Chains A and B, each alone.
Chain A
Amino acid sequence: MIEIKNLCKTFRTADGEVEALKNVSLSIPDGDVFGIIGMSGAGKSTLVRCINMLERPTSGTVVIDGVDMGALSERELRAKRREITMIFQGFNLLMQKTCLDNVCFPLKLSGLAGEKAWRKKRALELLEVVGLADKANAYPAQLSGGQQQRVAIARALATDPKVLLCDEATSALDPTTTASILELIRSINEKTGITVIIITHQMSVVESACRHVAILDGGVIVETGEVSEIFSNPASAAAKRLVYPEGDAAAASAVPGERMIRVVFNGSEATSTPLIAHMAVEKGIEANIAYASTRTIEGREYGSMLLGIREGGNAVEEAVAYLNAAAGVLAGEVQDGRAPSPEKEALTDA
């Protein structure tokens, strides 16, 4: 359990003080995959660095499994950090060391890991987990970005941590590689029960990997909850900006007498168009596609869609149920699709 309470971080710069985080409180349960999403400059990276105290908060506390991180001595903190490891946007591998030595690195640091042969064996097992056992003796420069991130993941897992922090870990990767890295992170979460915190500016990353999400805007948590919840009903302006990257299409394209459903494809095997067509054939529900941005990666569908469904009977509820029944598809009614909310104006101003 990670409990962040009233966290504030102020940076002093030449131009005065910058408040990167304002009174942030979050509670992240064990074993969760928790997304923290926000635009550049929202304070995501500062927040994640406050969790392992790479940045000291100006005020507020971070308590992990009952341990107040801010109260630890330097030595205790270093030991604690072995339980809260991190992967980065730039992978940050040791470029002069082989992949194997990179994975051995945290074990060597800890000093408890004992013998070299043991370290090597453990590192090889981890490279096996990330699918790169054959690259053990290669140098990072010889690997692709996705492979380098896999080595970084193996390294982060070496000390058997309880928490994995991912700081924009897929932002430097192409969509296909991103999908496979997120898949790996998810499967590790499922197998080991490790708590994963994913920092990102891409909604698609949260959609396909996270269970819960917090939206950070201007150093403030503006919304937090289950991913499916926030996707169908983003309440804050920041959430809407992220959920509807092309503007508030739901509101813009709403036809009188129609209700909007947002459909998210998280690597579903069904392709979007036949799914909508099947719904029309099987359920007799006709959907008006108001907005669609989907793409197929390795035969799986990713992206989102807005459907307008004519009111009457249980058509909307039936459609939501039908779409949710398909594997890898998440659907929900957009509550305020029609009426422009006060935040809508804030959105257009921004």
Chain B
Amino acid sequence: MLDKLFAPEVLAEAGEIIRSQFPLAIWETVYVTVLSTAFAIVLGLPLGVLLVVGEKDGVRPLPAWLMRTLNVVINLLRSVPFLILMVLVFPLTRLIVGTVVGTVASIVPLVIAAFPFIARLAEGSLREVNPNTIEMAQSLGASPMQIVTQVMLPESVPSLISNATIAITTILGYSAMSGIIGGGGLGKIAMNYGYYRYKYLIMVAAVILLIVLVQAFQSIGTRLAVKSDKRLKNKG
């Protein structure tokens, strides 16, 4: 079995595929992940802010029915398995991108799946802000908008970066999954060669690359979060 797996011709073929296909696949995976995360943050972060400021004791309470609706919608979107969500949003994907197949098309379901998740993560980060700090800002005459932009968001930057890191690594995993229904990147290669053509070496190589990418995003994210946190003493 092993000698078959590592036969010279198998190795040579795998090397050839890796050289010809992997650079593009890595690029596709990275840009789909980064772009999807960016769009999901654009949608999810304000939603997370709304979840915190709009509640009954928040700095700008919103009608209870609106808060309930937001929560239900977020929970609904979060409970649909990603594979099924991808298929469900086909009409929307077609509307926005013009097609449901390909790397760019996979961004739509990724954003739809990720923004409620990011809203919840942002909600968690913003809730960590000391309520006394918010009270202080109110005592100095800060408006709700000023509290959001000048207190809640800046004070939770380290936590937001940590959570953005969790989001980007999760989205990276989802983007690999989108290879099944026509998304590009390392996921597609792992599926096409490993699952459909039994070329295990290629699949393993793709998986290793995914692991390396997750590690890279995670260490960059952790480093940024620590670096941004001024609460840690004895730093410049």
Interface bits B140-177 vs A (CB < 8 Å: 1, else 0): 11110010001100110110000000000000000000
Residue B233 CB within 8 A of the other chain? yes
Contact stretch, chosen from B67-75, B83-91, B130-138, B181-189: B130-138
Contact stretch, chosen from A34-42, A80-88, A114-122, A262-270: A80-88
Residue A252 CB within 8 A of the other chain? no
Chain A residues within 8 Å of B143, by CB:
78
B130 close to A96 (CB less than 8 A):
no
B233 close to A142 (CB less than 8 A):
yes
B136 close to A109 (CB less than 8 A):
no
A82 close to B141 (CB less than 8 A):
yes
Interface bits A129-152 vs B (CB < 8 Å: 1, else 0): 000000000011110000000000
Interchain CA distance A106-B137 in the complex, whole Å:
8
Interchain CA distance A86-B132 in the complex, whole Å:
12
Chain B residues within 8 Å of A52, by CB:
139
B146 close to A95 (CB less than 8 A):
no
Which secondary structure dominates chain B's binding surface?
A: helix
Measured CB to CB, the closest approach of chain A to B131, in angstroms, equals 10
A106 close to B232 (CB less than 8 A):
no
A108 close to B150 (CB less than 8 A):
yes
Interchain CA distance A108-B155 in the complex, whole Å:
16
| Interfacial residues of chain A within 72-113, with CB under 8 A of chain B in the complex | 77-82, 85-86, 88, 90, 92-97, 105-106, 108-110
A88 close to B132 (CB less than 8 A):
yes
Chain B residues within 8 Å of A78, by CB:
141-143
Measured CB to CB, the closest approach of chain A to B179, in angstroms, equals 40
Q: Please, which residue of chain A has its CB at the minimum distance from the CB of B134?
A: A92
Q: Please, which residue of chain A has its CB at the minimum distance from the CB of B158?
A: A96
Interface size for chain A: under 10, 10 to 19, 20 to 34, or 35 or more residues?
A: 20 to 34
| Interfacial residues of chain B within 101-155, with CB under 8 A of chain A in the complex | 130, 132-133, 135-143, 146, 150-151, 154-155
Measured CB to CB, the closest approach of chain A to B130, in angstroms, equals 7
Interchain CA distance A142-B232 in the complex, whole Å:
8
Chain B residues within 8 Å of A346, by CB:
none
Residue B230 CB within 8 A of the other chain? yes
B150 close to A105 (CB less than 8 A):
yes
A142 close to B234 (CB less than 8 A):
yes
Q: Please, which residue of chain B has its CB at the minimum distance from the CB of A84?
A: B139
Residue B13 CB within 8 A of the other chain? no
Beyond A54-B135, A139-B230, whether A94 also contacts B140 by CB under 8 A is no
Residue A159 CB within 8 A of the other chain? yes
Interchain CA distance A92-B139 in the complex, whole Å:
11
Interchain CA distance A141-B228 in the complex, whole Å:
13
Measured CB to CB, the closest approach of chain B to A239, in angstroms, equals 29
Interchain CA distance A92-B147 in the complex, whole Å:
14
Q: Please, which residue of chain B has its CB at the minimum distance from the CB of A79?
A: B141
B141 close to A110 (CB less than 8 A):
yes
A96 close to B157 (CB less than 8 A):
yes
Residue B229 CB within 8 A of the other chain? yes
| Interfacial residues of chain B within 218-232, with CB under 8 A of chain A in the complex | 228-232
Beyond A81-B141, A95-B155, A141-B233, whether A109 also contacts B135 by CB under 8 A is no
Given contacts A78-B142, A78-B143, could you give 6 more A-B pairs where the C-beta distance is less than 8 Å? A52-B139, A96-B230, A96-B231, A109-B142, A139-B230, A156-B140
The 7 lowest CB-CB distance pairs between A and B, nearest first, are A92-B136, A81-B141, A78-B141, A139-B230, A86-B139, A106-B140, A141-B231
**Residues of B with Cβ closer than 8 Å to A?**
130, 132-133, 135-143, 146, 150-151, 154-155, 157-158, 228-234
**Residues of A with Cβ closer than 8 Å to B?**
52, 54, 77-82, 85-86, 88, 90, 92-97, 105-106, 108-110, 139-142, 155-156, 159, 165
